[in-house]
Amino acid sequence: MVDRNTDIDTQLKFKYQLFHRYNSGLTALNQQEVRNCQYSQDDFHKMFREISKSEIFLKVCPFFQEEQRMADDEFVTLLYLLTLFDDSLDSYSKKSKNPFINSYFERIHSNIYNLESNGDEIELSEKDEENEEDIELNAKQLSHDFIIKTKKSIFENIESVNLVYGQYLKGNRQERYLIETIYYHLAKDKRITKQFLKNKSTELGDFIANYLKEVNEKPYPENQDFNLLDCYKEKVAHTGRVKYRFNEMRKIINSFFTQSN
């Protein structure tokens, strides 16, 4: 149940929490709580937790204010992983949330984004051995710098969501599905620059809100038993609906730029 590469202290903490939960009649650990045990010392995990407690995150997602079971940490993790790899969105739509997060969190540590040693033994020459300490220090500094840069980027993307659509958010927990689609496209669309947000964020937010209002007043699309709002109102794991809500938000933003030009 525990990754063999996880240090012994974390493994013991994980096992203790499982033992305590199951032997005190309480609810079993959910997937994010398991990840919290497994990655308690991980820099990315610590960063996600810090962001989830920040003022701007709770302003956009106030429904996480009283969260007791780490759904807030999980949501920040999801937002980051969705925008990290080119195939993230496709994978997310095919898998349910937790398998996606689990597999892509592991992928962070097996990809170039992991700037620390992967634990494999490497044969060093005599000259390399002399520089091993410097190499290790440089790797730690690179890792630290990458985390700082990543944290700044996530904060900026959350602030972008607030600038564009904050005035329309009601603080409803189900809005997280709408928030994740807006976050994704604001982070990925290269047309949405800092200058654009400074000049056009309110206009884009109004455009999205008016579009969703029109959707609410129209009949369902032909040969469909749901519309875009249905994809935001309920928890949907169905591939077609997940893809639909992200594709429709892309169309909305593209329409805005077309009309603006």
The helix, strand and coil proportions of the chain, stated in percent and rounded to the nearest 5, come to: 70, 0, 30
What pLDDT is recorded for position 127? 52
Tens digits of residue pLDDT in 129-187? 556 566 566 767 777 888 899 999 999 999 999 999 999 999 998 899 999 999 999 99
pLDDT band at 17 (very low <50, low <70, confident <90, very high): low
- 0.85 exceeded by pTM: no
Measured CA to CA in angstroms, residue 200 lies from 97, 157, 192 at distances of: 32, 15, 9
Helix (H, G, I), strand (E, B) or coil at 115: coil
Per the model's pLDDT, the better-predicted residue between 256 and 127 turns out to be 256
As a whole number of angstroms, the distance between CA 31 and CA 35 comes to 6
Lowest mean pLDDT among 79-83, 91-95, 189-193: 91-95
Q: Domain residues of the chain, as ranges? A: 41-116+131-260
